[in-house]
Amino acid sequence: MHGDYPAALWIACVGALLGSLQYGYAIGVLNTSLTAVLDDLDTDADSLLSSAVVVGAAIGALFSGRLADALGPRRAQLLNVLPFAAGGLLSAAARSQAAFLFARALVGFGAGAASLLTPRYIAEISVPSLRGRIGSQHQVFINVGILLAYLAGVPYEQEFSGFNFRGQFVAWWRVMVALQAVPAALQAVALLGSPESPVWLESVGRSEDADEAFIQL
């Protein structure tokens, strides 16, 4: 318990806010590593590589509302873990400009979807006395994600560009984008044990399930 509210409420809120954190990390991670990415992929299309995540985000934002209406905000967020994790890992493995663009657009899709799914789920599960305080954390966690992305790029300021692993050189930027999978995994774990939105459950006629979720929260 935290105050008068059960742990389930806080776990669900943190699980949702990890989507906001990933959103921030996704838009900030290339700010310190773009030059290294361009060199490694042998391209000078810096604007193109930077904009891929924005294009993906626009598409994700367009479709996430319908997804949440159909599946529920919690399950929609669970599904949204996939583009975050897969996009991060595919970005790390990319050997060509086209592969990197696709992977970054995939991460962007997750970011765009999270921009709607996170605040919606939080608004629907939090009690009125907490709604404002918890809802504002969406923006806070976006900025925490951006901060973490910049911190991940600190090694480049120390002229560290990568390391050898089993005889192969691993560029540090690949580690940076692969780290996207860590909060994605944590979000999946948190949301798997969290209740669905009582508001959504009520809207689809599942009143008993809505009552159970409300009691948990």
Q: Where are the domains of the chain?
A: 7-216
How high is the pLDDT of residue 130? Answer: 80
pLDDT of residue 131: 79
**23-48 pLDDT, tens digit each:** 999 999 999 999 999 999 989 888 89
User: pLDDT digit of tens for each residue in the chain (217 aa)?
Assistant: 445 788 899 999 999 999 999 999 999 999 999 999 999 998 988 889 989 999 999 999 999 999 999 999 999 999 999 999 999 999 999 999 999 999 999 999 999 999 999 999 999 998 887 878 888 899 999 999 999 999 999 999 998 988 998 888 999 999 999 999 999 999 999 999 999 999 999 999 999 999 998 998 8
Ramachandran angles phi, psi of 171, nearest 5°: -65, 140
Q: What is the pLDDT of residue 1?
A: 42
For the domain spanning 7-216, the CATH number is: 1.20.1250.20
Percent of the chain with pLDDT strictly greater than 90: 77
Cα-based distances in Å from 106 to 58, 85, 87, 127, 160: 11, 9, 5, 33, 28
- For the chain, state the CA radius of gyration: 19
Spatial separation of the C-alpha atoms in residues 27 and 53, rounded to whole Å:
7
pTM: 0.91
CA atoms in the 13 A half-sphere facing the CB of 37: 29
Quick count: other Cβ atoms within 10 Å of Cβ 14?
Answer: 18
Confidence (pLDDT) at 112: 96
**For 187, which DSSP code?**
H
Whole-number pLDDT of residue 3: 54
Nearest to 160 by CA among 43, 39, 34, 33: 33
